[in-house]
Amino acid sequence: MIGFIGAGSMATAMARGWGGPVLASDSGSGRAAALVEELGGEAFRDNAALAAAAEVLVLAHRPGQLREIAASVDAAGKMVISVLGPTTTGELRAAYPESTVVRTMPNTAVQMRRGVIAVAEGGEAATELLSGLGRVVVLPEHQMNLATATSGVMPAYIALVAEAAIDASMCYGLPEREATEMFLHTLAGTAELLLSRGGDTIAARREVASPGESTVRGVAMLERRGLRSAFNDAARAVLERLEQPYPDPATR
């Protein structure tokens, strides 16, 4: 069985995506028990007992807890999949020297099995398991922080964009239910369209646009209001955070 150390948002999303019973621990909130109540399996308060019972371990605690938690468990000979944001494969190997470590960056859409899971090169052993959660993309280690900026945080951005677009339609009179349904289906349909065209965003935009008419005017306004530079600045903010330290509670 898969054992999650940490039973927060990401552990819950991955466990739901995989389905089936899980082993899970938390620091006392009861979220592990809630997850087990939903999916079956067993909740642990003791990470060592969880690690002994699990076939594969998923590190789904906070990045700063790596050394403290690794020191308390024996995962020798097991696969250890990390979702710990900026934690490098080298740091994982140092913490779990006798395990097969895999650095990943999933996003919360894994719970729909439509996630994106970036895997650092060398972690291909986990590809088959992770592909049950969505699209696996293998990246060089030095590009893994870009995975956080590109897909890890993106469900939050997309949700914000959806909220802004729906609010705008409501502001000019469309009822919330219709505005929400229309926007979200447009989002899903446009994603399918773009995927089918190899990501050709310009062609998809041109097809909606007539000279001087509504689409080009709307798009020009989004550009003028800084849509591109807002995304660019957001990516920089994410990367800057990932380069800052994540203190280990054991050393504080």
Ligand X SMILES: NC(=O)c1ccc[n+]([C@@H]2O[C@H](COP(=O)([O-])OP(=O)(O)OC[C@H]3O[C@@H](n4cnc5c(N)ncnc54)[C@H](OP(=O)(O)O)[C@@H]3O)[C@@H](O)[C@H]2O)c1
Options 2, 14, 16, 25; binder of ligand X; rule CB under 6 A: 25
**Residue 152 engages ligand X in binding (rule: CB under 6 A):** yes
Is residue 84 involved in binding ligand X (CB under 6 A)?
A: yes
In terms of residues, how long is the chain? 252
* Summary count for the chain: helices (H), strands (E): 12, 8
Binding to ligand X, residues 194-213 (CB under 6 A): none
Which one of residues 47, 99, 111, 150 is an interface residue with ligand X (CB under 6 A)?
47
Nearer to ligand X, 63 or 179 (CB): 63
Say how many residues touch ligand X, by CB under 6 A. Answer: 28
For residue 120, list its beta bridge partners: 139
CB 92 within 8 A of CB 75: no
Cβ within 8 Å of residue 80, ≥6 positions away: 56, 57, 58, 59, 92, 96, 99, 100, 101, 102
Q: Does 106 bind ligand X (CB under 6 A)?
A: yes
Report the nearest approach of ligand X to the CB of residue 185 (Å): 24
Q: Of 61, 69, 63, 108, whose CA–CA distance to 85 is shortest?
A: 63
The answer to whether residue 28 forms part of the interface with ligand X (CB under 6 A) is yes
Q: Which residue from 3, 8, 41, 115 is in contact with ligand X, where contact means CB under 6 A?
A: 8
Candidate list 2, 10, 75, 81; residue touching ligand X; CB under 6 A = 10
CB atoms within 10 A of CB 119: 24
Q: Could you say which of 3, 17, 41, 63 contacts ligand X (CB under 6 A)?
A: 63
